[in-house]
C-alpha cells in the first residue's frame, strides 16, 4: 500500500503505472491485430480475437493491482454471482465520473466477457486507445442527426445497418457491450438544465439502447442494469488516482432480453413502449441510489468486497 504517501505523489505514481501497464499490454494486442490482417482466415481471426481479449483482461487485472496498491478504497459489488464468460451481455449504467469505466471493468473482470463500448467513429484517432479499440473490433458507430436525415433521406437506417454488419463478428465470440444511458456524466448543472424528473439521475436516452439492441439482433443473452454509487460524493479522476475515494458501491440487476425490446425505433408505438420501459427502469434506479447511500451511511456491507 502506497496510501501513506502524500496524495499528489500517489496520484503521479498511479498515473505512471496506468501508462506503463497500457503500453505493456497494448503491444501484444497490436501484434495480434497485425497477424489477423496478414492472415485473413476466419478461424485464425477468431483465435486472434480471443488472444486480444486475453491480453485486455490481463490489462484490466493489472489496473486492479494498481488500485489496490495506491488506495484504500472499499469496493462493495453486489449481483455479479452467476454471470458467465460464455454469454453475451448488454450492460446499462448510470454515469457520474470518468472513473465509471474503471469501476465497470473491475466489477465485471473475469465475470463476463471483456467489456466493450459503442465508440463514436471520430474517436478512432485518439492516440493509442483509439487504435486499440479498432484492433479489438470495438463497434464504431456513425450516428446521423434527425436534421441530417431529413436532408438525406436515402441514408435513413444506414447507421444501424452499418453497425449491425460490424457486429456480425461477435457471433463467433462472447462479448459484452456497455452503454452509459444518460449519454453524459451527471452534474447538478445538467440536472437542473434538463429539469430531470429523477433525484439522482439525468434523463435516460432510449435511442442509444434501442440502437444497440437493433444492431446486435438476437445476440444478447441478458441485460445487466448497473447502478454505481460513490457514497462520499462524486470524485474526479485525479482524486481517484490520489486514493481519495473512500468507497464505491455497485449493484447489478440481471434482466432477460425480451422480444418486446427489439423493434424499429422510428415506429411511434414501439418507441413509446420502449421509452416507458426505460423510464420505469430509471425510476427504480433512482430509488436504489438513495437506498445504497443509506446502506453506506449505516455501515451495511452487502456484496463482494475487493
Per-residue model confidence (pLDDT) at position 248: 96
Distance CA 113, CA 250 (A): 18
Give the model's confidence band at 149: pLDDT under 50 very low, under 70 low, under 90 confident, else very high.
low
Per-chain mean pLDDT for the chain: 87
Q: Is the pLDDT of residue 2 over 90?
A: no
Per-residue model confidence (pLDDT) at position 300: 72
* pLDDT tens by residue, 130-144: 888 888 888 777 666
Per-residue model confidence (pLDDT) at position 151: 72
Question: Does CATH place domain 72-305 in 3.40.1130?
Answer: yes
Per-residue model confidence (pLDDT) at position 211: 74
Q: Is the pLDDT of residue 76 over 90?
A: yes
Length of the chain: 306
Contacts of 33 (CB under 8 A, 6+ apart): 48, 52, 134, 135, 136
Distance CA 197, CA 164 (A): 33
Q: Spell out where the chain has E strands.
A: 74-78, 89-93, 115-117, 119-120, 140-141, 176-180, 222-229, 247-256, 304-305
Question: Which position has the higher pLDDT, 159 or 52?
Answer: 52
Once rounded to an integer, what is the mean pLDDT over residues 44-70? 91
Once rounded to an integer, what is the mean pLDDT over residues 264-279? 88
Per-residue model confidence (pLDDT) at position 50: 86
Per-residue model confidence (pLDDT) at position 156: 66
The number of C-alpha atoms within 13 Å of 65 and in the hemisphere containing its C-beta is 9
Once rounded to an integer, what is the mean pLDDT over residues 3-32? 91
Question: Which position has the higher pLDDT, 184 or 22?
Answer: 22
Per-residue model confidence (pLDDT) at position 162: 64
Q: Residue 163's closest CA among 88, 215, 213, 211?
A: 215
Give the model's confidence band at 286: pLDDT under 50 very low, under 70 low, under 90 confident, else very high.
very high
Per-residue model confidence (pLDDT) at position 5: 79
* Minimum mean pLDDT range among 155-169, 172-186, 277-291: 155-169
Q: Percentage of the chain surpassing pLDDT 90?
A: 51
Give the model's confidence band at 161: pLDDT under 50 very low, under 70 low, under 90 confident, else very high.
low
pTM for the full model?
Answer: 0.88
* Minimum mean pLDDT range among 65-69, 109-113, 180-184, 283-287: 180-184
What are the sequence ranges of the domains in the chain?
72-305
Q: Is the pLDDT of residue 249 over 70?
A: yes
Distance CA 88, CA 277 (A): 21
Q: Is the pLDDT of residue 49 over 90?
A: no
Pairing mode, if any, of strands 222-229 and 247-256? antiparallel
Contacts of 163 (CB under 8 A, 6+ apart): 118, 139, 141, 211, 215
Per-residue model confidence (pLDDT) at position 305: 58
Amino acid at each position: 500500500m502506497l496510501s501513506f504517501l502524500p496524495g499528489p505523489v500517489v496520484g503521479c505514481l498511479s498515473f505512471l503505472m496506468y501508462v506503463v501497464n497500457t503500453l505493456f499490454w497494448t503491444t501484444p494486442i497490436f501484434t495480434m491485430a497485425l497477424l489477423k490482417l496478414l492472415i485473413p482466415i476466419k478461424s485464425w481471426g477468431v483465435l486472434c480475437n480471443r488472444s486480444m481479449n486475453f491480453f485486455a483482461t490481463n490489462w484490466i487485472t493489472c489496473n486492479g493491482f494498481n488500485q489496490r496498491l495506491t488506495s484504500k478504497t472499499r469496493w462493495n459489488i453486489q449481483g455479479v454471482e452467476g454471470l458467465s464468460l460464455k454469454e453475451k451481455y448488454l450492460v446499462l449504467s448510470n454515469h457520474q465520473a470518468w472513473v465509471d469505466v474503471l469501476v465497470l471493468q473491475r466489477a465485471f473482470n473475469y465475470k463476463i466477457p471483456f467489456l466493450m463500448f459503442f465508440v463514436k467513429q471520430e474517436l478512432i484517432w485518439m492516440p493509442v486507445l483509439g487504435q486499440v479499440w479498432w484492433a479489438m473490433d470495438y463497434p464504431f458507430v456513425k450516428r446521423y442527426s434527425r436534421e441530417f436525415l431529413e436532408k438525406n433521406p436515402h441514408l435513413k437506417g444506414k447507421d444501424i445497418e452499418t453497425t449491425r454488419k460490424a457486429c456480425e463478428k461477435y457471433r463467433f465470440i462472447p462479448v459484452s457491450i456497455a452503454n452509459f444511458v444518460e449519454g453524459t456524466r451527471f452534474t447538478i448543472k445538467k440536472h437542473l438544465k434538463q429539469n430531470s424528473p429523477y433525484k439522482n439521475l439525468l434523463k435516460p436516452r432510449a435511442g442509444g439502447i434501442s440502437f444497440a439492441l437493433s444492431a446486435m439482433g438476437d445476440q444478447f443473452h441478458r441485460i445487466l442494469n448497473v447502478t454505481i454509487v460513490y457514497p462520499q460524493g462524486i470524485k474526479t479522476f485525479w482524486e481517484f488516482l490520489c486514493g481519495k475515494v473512500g468507497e464505491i458501491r455497485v449493484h447489478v440487476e440481471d434482466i432477460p432480453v425480451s422480444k418486446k425490446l427489439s423493434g424499429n425505433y422510428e415506429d411511434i408505438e414501439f418507441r413509446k413502449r420502449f421509452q416507458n420501459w426505460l423510464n420505469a427502469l430509471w425510476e427504480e434506479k433512482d430509488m436504489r441510489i438513495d437506498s445504497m447511500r443509506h446502506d453506506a451511511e449505516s455501515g451495511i456491507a452487502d456484496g463482494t468486497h475487493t
